[in-house]
A and B are shown apart, each in its own frame.
Chain A
């Protein structure tokens, strides 16, 4: 069984659209994260949620909003997509902020 799963795996859309990426973990972890990996493979934290509370909010545009309906899910909503949003977005989870993080296989977002 996949521990951290993201859908969709690929997302191709036009500038200005609104899209969502879903993430689910079946590890029973308390903390979930969203990372952005750019074209140079650089990984950077965007958000993390601990017990449904936002505990880290890096300097990302407010067009990006994480939403956690329950402890096992952390979805990423993106409004008014821009060309610069093209990247691979990874969801991750951990048992706590000081515990190993487990990553999903990513969602490749391409903006036309």
Chain B
């Protein structure tokens, strides 16, 4: 089955700097890759996603890149702000198979210092 590795587990940056979180997946048939932000006491919130027919997607300060050959995808946050502090999860989904499981990475705790 699919396995998703996420790095780093913790990331501390200064306000205004960029943050990059990387994930690798094992199942080459996976074709949908969302990123979630989880704040304390809240559920995961989708912030951006990418499908396997696209190499990059951007939404304001957030961008995601996908390298299907290497089976890795990354989240890029520019001009970080203290409110970006949260736990971020990557995930991979193979929805063409018999089971459409969304497999999550173990999360990255991002701290943005003012």
Contact = CB atoms under 8 A, between A and B. Distances in A.
A100 B49 contact: yes
Interface in B40-96: 41-46, 49, 87, 89, 93, 95
Interface of B: 32, 34, 36, 38, 41-46, 49, 87, 89, 93, 95, 99-104, 106-107
Given A56-B99, A98-B93, A100-B34, A40 B46 contact: no
Interface residues of A, number: 22
Contacts of A44: 104
**Which secondary structure characterizes the binding site on chain B?**
strand
A97 B41 contact: no
A48 B102 CA distance: 11
Given A56-B101, A98-B93, A100-B49, A40 B43 contact: no
Given A4-B43, A42-B104, A55-B99, 5 more contacts: A90-B43, A90-B44, A97-B95, A105-B42, A106-B41
Given A105-B41, A105-B43, A97 B49 contact: no
